[in-house]
Amino acid sequence: MTTARPRILICANAKARDNYVVGPAAERLSVLADRSFLLSEGAAAPAGTGWQWGGPSIDPGDRVRLKAALGDIDALIVCHGAPLIDDEILATAPRLRLIGELEGDRFANRIDVEAAAARGIRVVDTTHGSSPPVAEWALGLILVGLRNAGAHFRRLVAGEFYRIGADRGSDPGWRMSELTGRRVGLIGLGHIGRRLVELLAPFRCDIAVHDPYVPKEVALASHVELTSLEDVMSREVVVCCAPITPRTHRMIGAPQLALLRPDSVFVNVSRGAIVDPDALIARAKQDDGVRFALDVFDPEPIPVESEIRRLPNIFLSPHIASLSQECGPRFFAFMVDELERFFGGRETMFDITPHVLANRRGLPPT
């Protein structure tokens, strides 16, 4: 256990500082360590230059300032605005033992993980602080989809007070409206998927998961069955909560969507690019009771002329699942938890490991 008081530097832009480094977690960090903040407002690397999301600052001045500040730092926390933490920067930080990413979509876009590992530096990521609201919205979309609520809402706003009556058998929301006891398939068992499993517990669902990267022990602890993508797609409720990677891009196309059973519900709270949009629209138009509840689509924003906006069996929300006031402070609270563990001589929980990087880079699972 460390006896000296650690020195911790947070490098990010003012927006991240003001929205994340606040509240009880900031007070906890002040008790644990001597902390300082380095403002870094550089523009992020533009799209198409190799960065998946939230790329590092490309301002050379940010690199110069960070290298000058690292000499006596034990832990470095980075977020939006920070430059790439590569071996050149690490060479100026002889005391550095831990690097943490507050919000990087677990792509390690601001950290050269291999260079850090070569120097014996631990890397952690608390991006999953936004997973709880995504899982909650996934549950909401499941219920919306089962009730065929999107179609009912469209009728109401069009001026019709539609209530299931004599023709109720023609409404898939009548034929399959309740969640309790349903066969649910999840694509992905990361932080979102595992939280969704917890939320589904009161409904006593039979849950199967497709995730080639998840250890069997995790599935066992979550009380779910690991299975194929084809099996998941054939269930009564299907939820996509996998990350977008080179391996998952367009993973769900016409052959997979054809496996959706009549009257089933397909939910996507992950990334729109995982699903082929043209194939999704074609499947939705088959008129066999399948309903889609989507928080994401490809492209975004959804073009005004897109047919996806007008199909009655599709419920849309504008990529809001992860947006809540609590997320920013939660990113930081989770990071302070990690710092307390690390400097208290305990194991960190959210390491970026070669296994995690293989998943995000679309490499075969090991």
* Percent of the chain residues past pLDDT 90, beyond the cut: 84
- Across residues 220-248, what is the average pLDDT? 96
Residue spans of the domains in the chain: they are: 7-125+325-360, 131-316
**Region of poorest pLDDT, from 19-23, 52-56, 343-347:** 52-56
- Answer yes or no: is pLDDT of 257 > 50: yes
Q: Is 157 helix (H, G, I), strand (E, B) or coil?
A: helix
pLDDT score of 354:
80
- Across residues 100-119, what is the average pLDDT? 87
Average model confidence (pLDDT) across the chain: 93
- Answer yes or no: is pLDDT of 2 > 70: no
* Percent of the chain residues past pLDDT 70, beyond the cut: 94
pLDDT in tens, 34-62: 999 999 998 887 655 555 556 899 999 99
- Nearest Cα neighbor of 136 from 183, 190, 197 is 197
Contact 29, 8 (CB under 8 A): yes
- Across residues 288-311, what is the average pLDDT? 96
The CATH class given to the 7-125+325-360 domain equals alpha beta
* Residue 365's pLDDT band (cuts 50, 70, 90): confident
Cis amide linkage into residue 301, ω under 30° from 0: yes
Query: What amino acid is encoded at 353 in this protein?
Result: T
CA pair distance 325, 59, nearest whole angstrom:
30
- Across residues 162-166, what is the average pLDDT? 61
In DSSP terms, which residues pair with 10 in a beta bridge? 37, 77
Q: Do 7-125+325-360 and 131-316 fold alike per CATH?
A: yes
pLDDT score of 162:
64
CA pair distance 120, 76, nearest whole angstrom:
14
> What architecture is the 131-316 domain classified under in CATH?
3-Layer(aba) Sandwich (3.40)
* Residue 356's pLDDT band (cuts 50, 70, 90): confident
Contact 67, 9 (CB under 8 A): no
pLDDT in tens, 63-104: 999 999 999 999 999 999 999 999 999 999 999 999 999 997
pLDDT score of 7:
98
pLDDT score of 55:
80
- Across residues 313-330, what is the average pLDDT? 96
Query: What amino acid is encoded at 62 in this protein?
Result: D
CA pair distance 61, 41, nearest whole angstrom:
10
